[in-house]
């Protein structure tokens, strides 16, 4: 499994698994657990979840999927902005740990910016690190100016990751956010890397897919994964999708492929405000 380096020097898998919308339908539960376990077997050992997903239901499902193999997993969860006070972070983390059936998170993220001062959230994260309940902390949905503000705060330089919307159709971060994060050695974790399945049914992706005998979704995922500083976390409840995503990691797009993608999905020529899904 290819890895991406965090500022601490720790290496994490470049391809992980998302869990949004998992844990919502009881009839899907067994399949979702099986999909996550198959992903683990294939080396997709980074799992991204959040207290928000199915209001704790996704964390419970992840807890079931990783039972007996916690040590082989890089576990990521997120705190709601309204819980992100110093005390609130500690309490929310306890609840997440209980649902996940573990005593530590590998990475804990602020899901998006709310009204609680970032300095209070950082204090909460640093407290949790000190007592070993989280190994790293980071943020999500932070644009370049948010990252600069964060970096200027006490311990703000300890941010390990920024998880944002980045895929072939949402290339805005290439203009300024990715270059800024690169200067700081902070990787980007790309969410919705295949645009929640909403990709055009014709054009560059289809043409490139035909050339490589893969699917347009695999091309889109390979595009997101082409950079050494990007981790992608597609969500797949279908076991065939999990296997396809793993294969996409080995798909090398050629310069010709990338030029074709630039025609259909032009890289940004000016600042584009960070989008959220």
Minimum distance, C-beta of residue 195 to ligand NAP, in the bound complex (Å): 6
Nearer to ligand NAP, 220 or 270 (CB): 220
Nearer to ligand NAP, 48 or 60 (CB): 48
Minimum distance, C-beta of residue 22 to ligand NAP, in the bound complex (Å): 7
Minimum distance, C-beta of residue 130 to ligand NAP, in the bound complex (Å): 25
Nearer to ligand NAP, 19 or 45 (CB): 19
Residue nearest to ligand NAP (CB): 18
Give the active site residue among 53, 108, 166, 191. 53
Active site residue 53: yes
Nearer to ligand NAP, 90 or 220 (CB): 220
DSSP labels for the chain? --EEE-TTS-EEESB-B--TTTTS-GGGHHHHHHHHHHHHHTT--EEE--TTGGGGHHHHHHHHHHTT-GGG-EEEEEE-GGG-SHHHHHHHHHHHHHHHT-S-EEEEEE-S--SS-HHHHHHHHHHHHHTTSEEEEEEES--HHHHHHHHTSTTGGG---EEEE-BTTB-GGGTTHHHHHHHHTPPEEEESTTGGG---SSSHHHHHHHHHTS-HHHHHHHHHTTSTTEEE-----SHHHHHHHHHHTT----HHHHHHHHHHSPPPSS--PPP--
Minimum distance, C-beta of residue 90 to ligand NAP, in the bound complex (Å): 21
The site for ligand NAP (CB under 6 A) is made up of 18-20, 48, 111, 140-141, 163, 191-197, 215, 217, 233-238, 241, 244-245, 277
**Catalytic amino acids?**
53
């Amino acid at each position: 499994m290819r890895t991406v380096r965090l500022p601490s020097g720790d290496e994490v898998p470049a391809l992980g698994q998302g869990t949004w919308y998992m844990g919502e339908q009881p009839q899907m539960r067994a399949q979702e657990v099986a999909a996550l376990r198959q992903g683990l077997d294939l080396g997709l050992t980074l799992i991204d979840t959040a207290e928000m997903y199915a209001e704790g239901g996704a964390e419970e499902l992840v807890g079931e999927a990783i039972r007996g193999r916690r040590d082989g997993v890089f576990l990521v969860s997120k705190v709601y902005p309204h819980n992100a006070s110093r005390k609130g972070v500690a309490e929310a983390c306890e609840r997440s740990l209980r649902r996940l059936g573990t005593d530590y998170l590998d990475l804990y993220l602020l899901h998006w910016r709310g009204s609680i001062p970032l300095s209070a959230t950082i204090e909460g994260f640093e407290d949790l690190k000190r007592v070993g309940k989280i190994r790293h902390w980071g943020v999500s949905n932070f644009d370049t100016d948010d990252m600069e503000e964060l970096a200027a705060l006490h311990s703000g330089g300890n941010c390990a990751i920024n998880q944002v919307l980045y895929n072939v159709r949402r290339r805005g971060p290439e203009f300024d956010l990715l270059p800024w994060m690169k200067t700081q050695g902070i990787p980007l974790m790309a969410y919705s890397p295949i645009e929640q399945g909403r990709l055009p049914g014709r054009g560059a992706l289809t043409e490139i897919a035909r050339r490589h005998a893969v699917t347009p979704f695999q091309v889109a995922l390979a595009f997101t994964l082409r950079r050494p500083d990007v981790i992608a976390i597609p969500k797949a409840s279908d076991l065939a999708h999990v296997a396809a995503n793993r294969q996409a990691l080995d798909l090398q797009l050629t310069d010709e492929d990338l030029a074709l993608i630039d025609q259909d999905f032009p890289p940004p020529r000016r600042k584009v405000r960070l989008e959220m899904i």
